[in-house]
Every structure is written in structure tokens, then in C-alpha cells.
């Protein structure tokens, strides 16, 4: 299996970066780091990884590069296209503040039949944190309109599925929205051991997620929509492949979150608070993702991006 790890960063190589390089060597992954204008390029050029500096990106993917813009985490889309063009069968999208455990990637279920705990939400969107040992929290991008009854899910027993997306959880500072983080300020240790899934669509992120080639052609981290970038990209992908092709798995990283301004994060999540419920109710069936709240720049990017997967 041809496997890629993709990330983007403006930081010097972190503990997580070095750990991913070790794991890539050990387990046969190809590690791609997508640079930005502020990235210390020489430091990454010395590492045992594929480093795509800004000049290489602009040369290889000029139209896509321009559509994304600079000084943005959405540069990682360049890495997805690069991995796809180089035959990736699985792409792991990761962040450089998520320190992988030694067993990261060893229980990879993509493309294999696996038995999961299967859930049905009382709403059409399932919150994956609702069935963990932290049900008071909620995943970033879960519609806040549904928080009151988000934990009212029905257990449907065991089901065998063949996942195209596997979202591993994250110990430490979890991926919850700014309101949740400001309220609880949690440091987590998830006790989830068995993979689980839902018949309903659900949010997943781009910080510790494995994506099969067949799903990657629909997945992107959307620019110009604030902190809904990977969330709306994930919801859209599930519309294309089916909700039960996504599974969640035990934590395989410890997130030592980079310093962030939580109020700024909240401001970047307003677009989701206002529109995510409507977004999840829209039955997108093609690359046409037009909606009043989706910027024209985002729609232009998606039109360009999806052409690379034809």
C-alpha cells in the first residue's frame, strides 16, 4: 500500500514532526511537508521528507496555488494533490502539534472490513464525542443548534463496515470549538478502545485522519471559510461517499496545542455557528457547492481543486 503523511506548517520542526519522520521510515510512509511563506525552508530541506517550498508549489500547481493564497493552513491541499498524483492509496493528514504515539498508524482499517460499534443520532448529525468518556464536550463543527440533545444517540449494536475515512481521536487538548474550550478548558485522556461509526453524518478534522484514495478526490480543506475549513470539507465528502464509510478510532496522538487566541478562534467559527446546520441539510451531489454563505473564492478554489482528481 502506498501511504502518505501530509502536513503544512510555518514552525520550525516540532517534536511531532520528528516523530512522524521516524514512523514514516519505520512503517513505509512518505512524509510530505507543504511550506508557506513564513516556513523556515532550510530546516525542512535538511529533513528526511518531501518538502514542497513555495516556489515548487507555484511551479507545479500555479492555478491551485493562487486560488488558495498564502499564510494559510489550507496550503495542505497542495500536499493532497501531490500525494494523489504520486499514487497514494491512503493519505494521513496531520498537524505538527499532534505528537504521535509509537503505535500511530498500526491499526489502520482503511479499505478493510472492520466491526464497529454503530450509532444512530436523534438528529441527522452525530457528535462523535457524545459516546466517549467526555460527553459534555462536542467536536468542532457540530451544529450548536443541536447541543441540547446531542447525547441522545441510540446504540444499534455491532456492524461490519469498510471505511474510506478513519478519524483517530486525540488525547491532550482536544478538537472542540472555541465556546466549548473557553467553557471547559479540558485536557483529555480518551478511553475509547473499539472503533465506532454512525449512520448519520458527523464532523471530523484534518489533524489526525486517514483518507482512502477513493475519498480523497472529494476531500479538501476549504479556504476562506474560517475554522470550518476541514469541517465543511468533511461533511461534503460524506455526502459523496456515505456516512457509514467514516469511522472513529482510539486516540493515537497527544495534542500539545500551539499557542492560539481562543477569542480569535471563536470569531473564525462564527460562520459555522450561523451556517453549519444549513450546510449539513443541503444534499450536495456534485462539485457544485454554491450557497449564499460560501464565498465565491471558495467555490473557485473547489472548481480548480477537483479538476486534479479527474
Q: Which residues contact 296 (CB under 8 A, 6 or more apart)?
A: none
Res 71: pLDDT: 96
- What angle do the packed helices 229-241 and 262-281 form, to 10 degrees? 20
The predicted-structure confidence for 215-271, as pLDDT tens digits, reads as follows 999 999 999 999 999 999 999 999 999 999 999 999 999 999 877 788 999 999 999
Res 3: pLDDT: 98
The mean pLDDT of 103-121, rounded to a whole number, is: 97
Res 190: pLDDT: 98
SS (H, E, C) the chain: CCEEEEEECCCCCCHHHHHHHHHHHHHCEEEEEECCCCCCHHHHHCCCCEEECHHHHHHHCHHHHHHHCCCCHHHHHHHHHHHHHCCCCEEEEECCCEEECCCCCCCCCCCCCEEEEEEECCCCECCHHHHCCCCCCCECCCCHHHHHHCCCCEEEEEEEECCCEEEEEEEECCCECHHHHHHHCCCECCCCCCCEEECCECCCCCCEEEEEHHHHCCCCCCCCCHHHHHHHHHHHHHHHHCHHHEEEEEEEEEECCCCCCHHHHHHHHHHHHHHHHHHHHCCCCCCCCCCCCCCHHHHHHHHHHHHCCC
Provide the percentage of residues in the chain whose pLDDT is more than 90.
94
The predicted-structure confidence for 61-84, as pLDDT tens digits, reads as follows 999 999 999 999 999 999 999 999
Q: Are 163 and 88 in contact (CB under 8 A)?
A: no
Lowest-pLDDT choice from 29-33, 108-112, 277-281, 289-293: 289-293
Res 288: pLDDT: 72
The mean pLDDT of 206-210, rounded to a whole number, is: 98
- Whether residue 276 has pLDDT greater than 70: yes
Res 258: pLDDT: 75
The predicted-structure confidence for 183-199, as pLDDT tens digits, reads as follows 999 999 999 989 999 99
The mean pLDDT of 197-205, rounded to a whole number, is: 98
Q: pTM higher than 0.75, yes or no?
A: yes
- Whether residue 308 has pLDDT greater than 70: yes
Output phi, psi for 173, to 5 deg.
-85, 105
Of 174, 128, 166, the C-alpha closest to 249 is 166
The mean pLDDT of 3-8, rounded to a whole number, is: 98
Res 287: pLDDT: 64
Res 261: pLDDT: 85
Report the b/e string of 182-195 with b at 16+ CB within 10 A: eeeeeebebebeeb
- Whether residue 33 has pLDDT greater than 80: yes
The mean pLDDT of 122-129, rounded to a whole number, is: 97
**pLDDT band, very low/low/confident/very high, at 304 (cuts 50, 70, 90):** very high
**Start-to-end C-alpha separation, the chain:** 21
**pLDDT band, very low/low/confident/very high, at 213 (cuts 50, 70, 90):** very high
The predicted-structure confidence for 146-173, as pLDDT tens digits, reads as follows 999 999 999 999 999 999 999 999 999 9
Amino acid at each position: 500500500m502506498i501511504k502518505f503523511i501530509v502536513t503544512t506548517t510555518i514552525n520550525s520542526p516540532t517534536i511531532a514532526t520528528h516523530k512522524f519522520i521516524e514512523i514514516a521510515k519505520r512503517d513505509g510512509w512518505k512524509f510530505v511537508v507543504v511550506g508557506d511563506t513564513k516556513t523556515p525552508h532550510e530546516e525542512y530541506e535538511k529533513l528526511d521528507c518531501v518538502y514542497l517550498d513555495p516556489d515548487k508549489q507555484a511551479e507545479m500547481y500555479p492555478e491551485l496555488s493562487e486560488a488558495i493564497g498564502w499564510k494559510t493552513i489550507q496550503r495542505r491541499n497542495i500536499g493532497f494533490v501531490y500525494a494523489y498524483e504520486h499514487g497514494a492509496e491512503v493519505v494521513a493528514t496531520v498537524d505538527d502539534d499532534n505528537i504521535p504515539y509509537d503505535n500511530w498508524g498500526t491499526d489502520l482499517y482503511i479499505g478493510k472490513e472492520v466491526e464497529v460499534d454503530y450509532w444512530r443520532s436523534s438528529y441527522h448529525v452525530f457528535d462523535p464525542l457524545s459516546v466517549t468518556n467526555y460527553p459534555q464536550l462536542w467536536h468542532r463543527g457540530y451544529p450548536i443548534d443541536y447541543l441540547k440533545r446531542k447525547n441522545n444517540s441510540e446504540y444499534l449494536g455491532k456492524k461490519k463496515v469498510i471505511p474510506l475515512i478513519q478519524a483517530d481521536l486525540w488525547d491532550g487538548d482536544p478538537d472542540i470549538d472555541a465556546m466549548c474550550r473557553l467553557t471547559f478548558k479540558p485536557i483529555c485522556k480518551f478511553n475509547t478502545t473499539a472503533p465506532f461509526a454512525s449512520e448519520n453524518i458527523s464532523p471530523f478534522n484534518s489533524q489526525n485522519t486517514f483518507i482512502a484514495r477513493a475519498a480523497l478526490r472529494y476531500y479538501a480543506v476549504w479556504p476562506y471559510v474560517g475554522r470550518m475549513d476541514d469541517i465543511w470539507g468533511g461533511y461534503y465528502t460524506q455526502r459523496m461517499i456515505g456516512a457509514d464509510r467514516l469511522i472513529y478510532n482510539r486516540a493515537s496522538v497527544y495534542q500539545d496545542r500551539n499557542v492560539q487566541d481562543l477569542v480569535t478562534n471563536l470569531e473564525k467559527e462564527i460562520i459555522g455557528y450561523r451556517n453549519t446546520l444549513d450546510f449539513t441539510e443541503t444534499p450536495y451531489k456534485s462539485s457544485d457547492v454554491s450557497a449564499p454563505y460560501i464565498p465565491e473564492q471558495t467555490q473557485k478554489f473547489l472548481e480548480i481543486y477537483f479538476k486534479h482528481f479527474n
